[in-house]
Amino acid sequence: MISIKGGVMCRRKLHVMNCSLLLTALCAMGSGGFRDVFLFCLSVAGIIWYLALWSIGLFGCWAARRRYRLRPRSPLATATSAPGVSILRPLKGLDTNLYENLESTFQQEYPNYEIIFSVAEENDQALPIVRDLISKYPHVNTAVIIGEEIVGVNPKINNLIRSYRQAANDILWVLDSNVMVQPGTLARSVDALDGPPPPGSPTSLRRVAVVHHVPFAFAAEAKIGSRIEEAFLNTNHAKMYIAINTVAIESCVVGKSNLYRRSDLERVNGSLNAMPLEEAPRQEDDYGLAAFGRFLAEDNMIASALWHELGLRHSLSCDVARNVVGNMTLGDYVWRRVRWIRVRKHMVLVATLLEPFTESVMLSVIASLSFRYLFAIPSWIVLVLHFPLWLSVDLDVYASLAGHPLPTSIRWEFLAAWAARELLALPIYMLAIFGDEVIWRGNRYQVLRNGEVRRATPSHLNWFRRFIARPKSLVNYESLESTSSD
């Protein structure tokens, strides 16, 4: 009996051991199989994402060629009558190339416009230049407004509000002081704003509410920050900006140079909620330009309000806003990008979170790992092919906007700045994404919902935010009050 029981017990133990080993093997196989499936799906998704970003880049390159390589002269340039336009140029101090920037508005080939300059203080250094230009072009209807009106925390809006109300025309062209434009820009822009839709467009196409111009930067000084800013705006930024606005599924506007109607602006308030056409403003400061004084990126919010609240669309003109980049250090560039990433985070969170994965360095890592896993292609081959091709597309966009290839005189400086911009993109993003404060001329503000801002007191700042706060040596690098905006 004992031997029989012992044999049964031994067989049971052996059976249990075999089952345990089998379960362990199955679990191991299951774990490995799950990992393989996960890596396979991740690699496929990586290649799809990589090809999608390449498609957007190539589309932006094609759209830039199609839109900017030929800029026909508008019939309005030689017409005897045309819709009236008020050009508003808020000023603050001496921007780089200020005389030439302002003179470009006096030279517009357009029969019916006025220029209104505005400064906050009567001793502003820009005023002598304005007076010289008024004497040089006495035939141009020009006015100068001195003194701001406080309607919000945004100094540019405070500077603009009086000229906005005094403007004689419904069509307004707001130009930053660091922007220069070609003589035919206004006429072509009014064509886009007021003219009929392009041939072949559906009859249900929405009316144009905003005409804007892609920034094209040129560095007046060979500072490293200036060169990086120039490379960024003229390649990756322009490529994505043009692609997004050509598809036109959402508002995306930079406020260097914008045309819109005051009558449209008076019907929106920045809520981004669709508004009945019959609804009338309740209070003067609830609607119109004054309502946007609470935002940092007032240009983008105005365009978004016209898009969402009135259901109107935007048009990207075939002209560029030549953005003169002055004396910008590397630190200036970094903190400028930090500022706008923090604003975008509160305006378009999902797009901001995806932003690092649209940059060329991160895309190269995604592509190299995905192709190596799926097709056993060495990573170095992907990297060697990726960057020259990416750069060639960016340089083609540059040539479309500039009207000529990259000049040989700045070739190596530009390429070095381009490489620095690509390498700095992720570190700058990581610095920016964990903060909510920005600096305007030594004052600290906290960015709130939809890009609204308020003064930040020391009690609002934790030790980490203080650690990454901008150095005191960089406090005066650029101010929102200088009308230049990104």
The region that residue 483 occupies, defined by phi over 0 for left and psi between -120 and 50 for alpha, beta otherwise, is left
**Position 96: which residue type?**
T
| Among the listed residues 34, 55, 101, the one whose alpha carbon sits nearest the alpha carbon of residue 482 | 101
Q: Which of 66, 51, 71, 55 is nearest to 396 (CA)?
A: 66
Nearest of 341, 274, 351, 279 to residue 307 by alpha carbon: 274
The CA distance from 107 to 183, in Å, is: 6
What residues have CB less than 8 Å from 477, skipping those under 6 apart? 328, 329, 331, 332, 335, 336
- Cα–Cα distance between 80 and 438 in angstroms, integer? 48
396 is catalytic: no
Catalytic residue, from 124, 176, 299, 332: name it.
299
Contacts for 103 with CB less than 8 Å, ≥ 6 apart: 133, 136
**For the chain, give me the number of helices (H) and strands (E)?**
15, 11
Cβ atoms 265, 170 nearer than 8 A: no
Residues recognised as catalytic: 299
